[in-house]
Amino acid sequence: MDIDFIEEDKLLVLKITEEIDHHTTDRMRRLADYEIQRYSPRKVVFDFSGTSFMDSAGIGLIIGRYKMASMIGAKVEIKNVKENIRRIFEMTGILKIIPIIGEEDSCEEVI
């Protein structure tokens, strides 16, 4: 996971760089929690541009970080989600509380 903190916006960008499953979320969870506590951001953005696979472990990962961010008053957003991953998010209904922002067209990539 690549970490980027933009001081003036208090924006923490966590770019996921590997496939997301039960095996890989353990490490990502610890790292994300550490960075959220370290920076106390106003907003946490999960950037999915570096991954092409996610199963339900990713839902747990994002909801868990949402709960943590909420405790310090930070928002959580996700971006650059490929179509197969978007379908999983849509199925769970969590996009109502954690929106997908700044759509880059990912449809062409899939085809």
Partner 1 sequence: MKKLYDNEMNLEFLSKSCNESFARIAVAAFASQLDPTIEELSDIKTSISEVVTNSIIHAYDSDDEIIKIHCKIKDNMIIIEVSDTGKGIEDIEQARKPLYTSKAELERSGMGFTIMENFMDEVKIESIVGIGTKVTLKKVIKEECEDIT
Return the H-helix or E-strand segment holding 103. Answer: none
15 in helix, strand or coil?
strand
Nearest 5°: CA angle at 18, between 74 and 91?
A: 65
Torsion of CA 95, 101, 107, 109, to 10 degrees: -120
| Number of helices followed by number of strands (H, E) in the chain | 4, 5
Cβ closest to partner 1, residue 42 vs residue 55: 55
Residues 31-50 that bind partner 1 (CB under 8 A): none
6 binds partner 1 (CB under 8 A): no
The window from 7-15, 38-46, 71-79, 103-111 that contacts partner 1 (CB under 8 A) reads 103-111
Give least dist CB 65 to partner 1, A: 9
110 binds partner 1 (CB under 8 A): yes
Residues 56-85 that bind partner 1 (CB under 8 A): 56-57, 59-61, 63-64, 83-84
Among 1, 3, 55, 95, binds partner 1 (CB under 8 A): 55
